[in-house]
């Protein structure tokens, strides 16, 4: 009898599995769009995460986080998850936030300005296109997002490594383009750290609106340059350059995470950046 019961149970497993399979639903965290860029001369993939309560017809104006390295197989899924967590009502470190993940086509081209280092030009022949990519952000992407989604609650630019270099370039050269900057492990060694020698385009007057900056870096050691530089020292130099402006509208947080390296610092730095830049936030505007 016991054997018969076991056989009957085993025989029923395929039916149970089939019934379960019919009930399966896909888990989605966002929507993928294509935007043609006349500036870049190509189509760009955008991965969009919307807050749970988002509807196209409501009156809420949402904060937007623009995520560099925003491909599905890069940073989009886990950053969107961190945004979801930090916008839970019982956490409330972020206002309800739209995430715009910008998928890469040629990362080294878009994230770098021209270099005078011969070895880097030979190794990475397509580099040097950051000015056009920043134009794309300003003149095509942001207007597209503003037109098609309920924005108006401020915006943030987030980038790590080479994308952190791009975010730092935007901050120093076009600071009014975003309200907040989360810059993680920026590759400031590029072009013999020439960006660190630049005079910031903001002063005691500009940016005219409150701008919050988070710079996070792990214990990451030497850069891939000859001679080598120290990643965390360069990040500190960037923070010192921003502090030296003494602009009351700029709030800066420098965060050294000694237990993390270049590969592991991302998640913790994003969490720290959201906490330090936003903390507990008010309800989004409905005006």
Q: Spell out the residues 6+ positions from residue 12 whose beta carbon is closer than 8 angstroms to its own.
A: none
Q: Of the candidates 135, 187, 134, which has an alpha carbon nearest to the alpha carbon of residue 165?
A: 187
Angle, in degrees to the nearest 10, between helices 231-243 and 162-173:
20
* φ, ψ dihedrals at 21, nearest 5°: -60, -35
Domain residue spans in the chain? 28-278
Level-2 CATH architecture, domain 28-278: 3-Layer(aba) Sandwich (3.40)
What local confidence, expressed as pLDDT, does residue 140 receive?
98
What local confidence, expressed as pLDDT, does residue 24 receive?
82
Where in the chain does DSSP place strands (E)?
31-37, 42-49, 62-67, 97-102, 151-160, 180-184, 211-218, 250-257
What local confidence, expressed as pLDDT, does residue 242 receive?
92
What tokens appear for 275 in the block? 């906490």
Q: Are strands 42-49 and 62-67 parallel, antiparallel or unpaired?
A: unpaired
DSSP letters spanning 125-193: TT---HHHHHHHIIIIIHHHHHHHS-EEEEEEEEEETHHHHHHHHHHHH-GGG-SEEEEES--TTHHHH
pLDDT in tens, the chain (287 residues): 444 344 444 455 555 555 556 678 888 889 999 999 999 999 999 999 999 889 888 888 999 999 999 999 999 999 999 999 999 999 999 999 999 999 999 999 999 999 999 999 999 999 999 999 999 999 999 999 999 999 999 999 999 999 999 999 999 999 999 999 999 999 999 999 999 998 777 776 668 788 999 999 999 999 888 889 999 999 999 999 999 988 889 999 999 999 999 999 999 999 999 999 998 554 444 33
What tokens appear for 182 in the block? 């989360």
User: What DSSP character marks residue 197?
Assistant: G
Q: Spell out the residues 6+ positions from residue 124 whose beta carbon is closer than 8 angstroms to its own.
A: 108, 112
CA angle 268, 269, 274 (to 5 degrees): 100
What local confidence, expressed as pLDDT, does residue 283 receive?
45
What local confidence, expressed as pLDDT, does residue 14 receive?
57
What local confidence, expressed as pLDDT, does residue 208 receive?
78
User: What DSSP character marks residue 99?
Assistant: E
Q: Which residue has the tokens 């008010």?
A: 282
């Amino acid at each position: 009898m016991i054997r018969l019961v076991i056989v009957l149970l085993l025989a029923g497993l395929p039916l149970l599995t089939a019934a379960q399979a019919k009930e399966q639903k896909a888990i989605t965290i966002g929507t993928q769009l294509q935007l043609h860029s006349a500036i870049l001369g190509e189509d760009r993939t955008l991965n969009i995460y919307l807050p749970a309560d988002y509807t196209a017809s409501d009156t809420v104006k949402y904060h937007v986080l623009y995520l560099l390295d925003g491909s599905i197989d890069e940073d989009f899924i886990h950053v969107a998850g961190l945004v979801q967590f930090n916008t839970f009502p019982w956490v409330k470190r972020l206002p309800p936030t739209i995430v715009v993940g910008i998928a890469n086509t040629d990362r080294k081209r878009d994230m770098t300005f021209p270099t005078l280092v011969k070895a880097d030009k030979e190794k990475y022949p397509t580099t040097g296109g950051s000015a056009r990519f920043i134009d794309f952000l300003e003149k095509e992407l942001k207007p597209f997002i503003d037109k098609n989604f309920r924005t108006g609650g401020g915006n943030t630019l987030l980038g790590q490594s080479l994308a952190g270099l791009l975010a730092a370039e935007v901050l120093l050269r076009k600071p009014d383009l975003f309200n907040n900057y989360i810059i993680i492990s920026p590759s400031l060694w590029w072009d013999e750290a020439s960006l660190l020698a630049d005079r910031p385009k903001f002063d005691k007057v500009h940016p005219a609106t409150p701008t919050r900056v988070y710079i996070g870096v792990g214990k990451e050691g030497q850069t891939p340059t000859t001679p080598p530089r120290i990643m965390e020292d360069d990040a500190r130099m960037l923070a010192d350059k921003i502090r030296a402006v003494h602009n009351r509208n700029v709030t800066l947080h420098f965060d050294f995470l000694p237990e993390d390296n270049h590969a592991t610092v991302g998640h913790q730095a994003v969490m720290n950046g959201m906490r330090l830049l936003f903390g507990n936030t008010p309800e989004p505007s409905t005006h």
